[in-house]
Amino acid sequence: MAFSKLLGLVIVLAVTGCATTPEDPNRPVQAACNQRTNCFYERNIRSFQALDDRTVVVLVGRDQCPYRLELDGFFCDVSMSSFIAFDDTDGRICSWDRAYVVGGPFVRENEYCRVRDVTPMTDDELLEAYATHGLAPPLPARGSGELEVVEEPQAEPPPADTDTAAEAAPTPATAGPEQPPEMLAPR
């Protein structure tokens, strides 16, 4: 009987201790995708999108982290590929790692692309790349779309003298093309 009371008390204290732990609002939120690594595993690729004949975006992992692959090769053209496959010894795709990309059902035996650069992308960079290459429409403007123009206060003109105002005001004869001095209106 004492053992069951002791066990019940331990369980209640454990549950209470876990339930009352406050979460720190100042704790930084860790991003789902690691922006510091330039490598990923081939087995984790979920989908890909060819931006042009030598640039591919692959979405990797559960969180579909985007990576931009820059490819290099003489016969390299992945723009019409319906799939891509990698030829790599360890399955880890990195920059300058001797990984080769074979894509599409219409490739010849000697056509291959070498992975030149692997760059992690943020969500903003991914949307910008898609919009730049015409794969997604650009995002709409935020807010109501109305522009507000703030007018600057204009400085008051200096007080005008009657002599300076008469000199500054152009006469109809001087407003046109140059005329000889005798044709000018008298002052």
The whole-number pLDDT of residue 182 equals: 57
Please determine, for residue 59, whether its predicted confidence score (pLDDT) is greater than 90.
yes
Q: Among candidates 44, 33, 53, 42, which has minimal Cα distance to 125?
A: 33
DSSP letter at 36? T
In contact, 96 and 114? CB cutoff 8 Å: no
In contact, 41 and 78? CB cutoff 8 Å: no
In contact, 110 and 75? CB cutoff 8 Å: yes
Q: What are the Cα distances from residue 28, in Å, to 21, 35, 174?
A: 17, 16, 72
Please determine, for residue 55, whether its predicted confidence score (pLDDT) is greater than 80.
yes
The whole-number pLDDT of residue 30 equals: 56
Please determine, for residue 183, whether its predicted confidence score (pLDDT) is greater than 60.
no
15-19, 35-39, 55-59, range with greatest mean pLDDT: 55-59
Q: Evaluate whether residue 161 is within a structural domain.
A: no
As a whole number of angstroms, the distance between CA 128 and CA 40 comes to: 22
Which amino acid belongs to residue 119? T
The whole-number pLDDT of residue 139 equals: 65
**Domain total for the chain?**
1
Q: Evaluate whether residue 185 is within a structural domain.
A: no
The whole-number pLDDT of residue 16 equals: 62
In contact, 69 and 57? CB cutoff 8 Å: yes
Which of 98 and 91 is assigned the larger pLDDT? 91
**How does residue 172 score in pLDDT terms, banded at 50, 70 and 90?**
low
Mean of the pLDDT values across residues 102-106?
A: 69
Q: Evaluate whether residue 118 is within a structural domain.
A: yes
Q: Evaluate whether residue 174 is within a structural domain.
A: no
The whole-number pLDDT of residue 56 equals: 92
Q: Where are the beta strands (DSSP E) in the chain?
A: 39-41, 45-52, 55-60, 65-72, 84-87, 92-94, 100-103, 113-120
DSSP letter at 157? P
As a whole number of angstroms, the distance between CA 44 and CA 88 comes to: 14
Which amino acid belongs to residue 41? Y
The pair of three-digit structure tokens given for residue 40, joined into one six-digit string: 């990923």
In angstroms, how far is CA 103 from the centroid of its own chain?
26
Structural domain of 70: 39-132
Q: Evaluate whether residue 81 is within a structural domain.
A: yes
In contact, 37 and 120? CB cutoff 8 Å: yes
Q: Evaluate whether residue 23 is within a structural domain.
A: no
Q: Evaluate whether residue 115 is within a structural domain.
A: yes
